[in-house]
Amino acid sequence: MANLLDFLLSSDFLFFVFSGVAIGSALAMVTRKNPVASLLFMVATLASLAGIYVIFEAHFLAAIQIIVYAGAIMVLFLFVIMLLNLGHDFQQDLKGGAWAIFAFVVAGAMAGFLARQYGGIEALPIYQNAQGAEVIDALLAEQGAVGVMAHPLFGDYVVAFELTGLLLLVAIVGALALAKRRV
């Protein structure tokens, strides 16, 4: 009994639970007709991805994923769907015929290509020389989940970080200019 409990609480098992939820709700999201239902399935996908991030010890990213993605961005989508009153026009939404065949071919080709790439990825040279998870665990224990990201972010990557702020400013101004009736 204790073994079963250990297994159910192990990160491996939780990883497969979260993966199953993510894949299932991603499929549901693509196939639902109602945009609101689609969006709620997307929120479920994002939340289970946050769970997977926790399993990979990316605690800060998991929090950001919930707060920014599942919180802010998805609420923005929901707000636009409600603003445009799209919840209940059930006209045909899926492209049919040649488009569906083309989409299946593209998806199949991509899946095949990725499957070929992923065969034996852990045997690659970069993985043989990798620093390994222990280094990151030590860093996490020393600096905490936020500090481990903040130190490189405000050190080596500070230019990219400041440019990100500029990008957000441009996006805000652009969104306002586009959505306003008369600027």
Partner 1 sequence: MGTQLLTEALVVSAFLFVVGTFGVLVRRNAIIMFLCIELQLNAVNLSFVAFSRALGIEGQLYVFFVMTVAAAEAAVGLAIIISIFRHYETVNVNNFNLLKW
Considering only residues 70-109, where is the footprint of partner 1 by CB under 8 A? 72-73, 76-77, 80-81, 83-84, 86, 91-95, 99-100, 102-104, 106-107
| Size of residue set near partner 1 by CB under 8 A | 86
Q: Are 32 and 62 in contact (CB under 8 A)?
A: no
Nearest alpha-carbon partner for 61 in 52, 152, 162, 39:
52
131: which DSSP letter? Answer: -
Tell me the closest approach of the beta carbon of residue 101 to partner 1, in angstroms.
10
Q: State in Å, rounded, how far the first CA of the chain is from the last one.
A: 67
**Residue from 1, 5, 9, 114 in contact with partner 1 (CB under 8 A):** 114
Nearest alpha-carbon partner for 78 in 45, 25, 34:
34
Tell me the closest approach of the beta carbon of residue 92 to partner 1, in angstroms.
8
Cβ neighbours of 159 (radius 10 Å): 8
Residue placing its CB nearer to partner 1 in the complex, 1 or 155: 155
Tell me the closest approach of the beta carbon of residue 1 to partner 1, in angstroms.
20
**Residue from 17, 63, 66, 157 in contact with partner 1 (CB under 8 A):** 157
- Is 124 a residue that touches partner 1 (CB under 8 A)? no
Contact map string, positions 35 to 54, toward partner 1, x by CB under 8 A? x--xx--x--xx--x--xx-
- 8: which 2 tokens? 């159910």
CA dist 170 and 183 (Å) reads 16
